[in-house]
Amino acid sequence: MIPENHPGLLFDFCPRCGEKTMKFDGLKKTDCAQCGFQFWFNASGAVAALIFNANKELLLTIRKSDPGKGEFDLPGGFIDPDESAEEALVREIKEELNLNITHFRYLQSFPNQYLYKGVVYHTIDMIFFCTADDNSNITPADDVTGYRWMKPSDIDPQSMGLNSMRKVIKWINTELAKEDQNIL
């Protein structure tokens, strides 16, 4: 079922020829019947960091804006054009928390639907295990209003502002519960 706020449903007029001939395929692209222009709705890349302190507590941020304003999140954000996921990870953590990432390791990805100003953006959220140079100088900025350290087992997944981050918390706790696995 296509959500009523899918971006494909918002295109009536072709951005190339201006005719009202755009037809959405119901999944991922819209075509102009007049000039043949096509626009694709691909998933946007995003990154999120799992940063633990010496007490094995996970660093959570508090979202400044919707979606999920005031709720918990993992530090991270969208990948800019012409930027790698790794570059975005380092940049986002510096912008949001004033932390310098010294090591990172890709773990897994989670799809998400990001509702922003009435439009659903599909994302693929890439999760990285990270270490930072100094956790004592955290300064919330950008789209973060605060932060909190918590044991993963104490985090209610429903307290996370985005569905993909709820899945990440469940996944972390499943992985940490396995005796033969250690994501840390």
pLDDT digits (tens, 9 = 90+) for 64-97: 999 999 999 999 999 999 999 999 999 999 999 9
Q: Please, what is the average pLDDT of the chain?
A: 93
- What sign does the CA torsion over 44, 108, 96, 173 have? positive
| Residues forming beta bridges with residue 83, ordered by sequence position | none
Sorting pLDDT into bands at 50, 70 and 90, what band is 135?
A: confident
Give the residue from 125, 114, 128 showing the smallest Cα distance to 52. Answer: 128
**Looking at residue 156, what is its pLDDT?**
97
Rounded Cα gap, residues 179 and 168, in angstroms: 19
My answer on whether omega of the bond before 67 falls inside 30° of 0, hence cis, is: yes
Sorting pLDDT into bands at 50, 70 and 90, what band is 179?
A: low
**Looking at residue 184, what is its pLDDT?**
61
- Per-residue pLDDT, averaged over 158-167, amounts to 96
Q: Which architecture, in CATH terms, is 44-112+119-177?
A: Alpha-Beta Complex (3.90)
Rounded Cα gap, residues 23 and 124, in angstroms: 25
Determine contact, residues 31/113, Cβ cutoff 8 Å.
Answer: no
CA distances for 111 relative to 13, 53, 127, angstroms: 29, 27, 11
Q: Is 39 helix (H, G, I), strand (E, B) or coil?
A: strand
Phi, psi of 17 (to 5 degrees): -105, -10
Rounded Cα gap, residues 18 and 11, in angstroms: 11
pTM: 0.89
**Looking at residue 182, what is its pLDDT?**
60
Q: When comparing pLDDT for 148 and 184, which is higher?
A: 148
- Is the confidence at residue 181, as pLDDT, over 60? no
| Residues forming beta bridges with residue 45, ordered by sequence position | 124
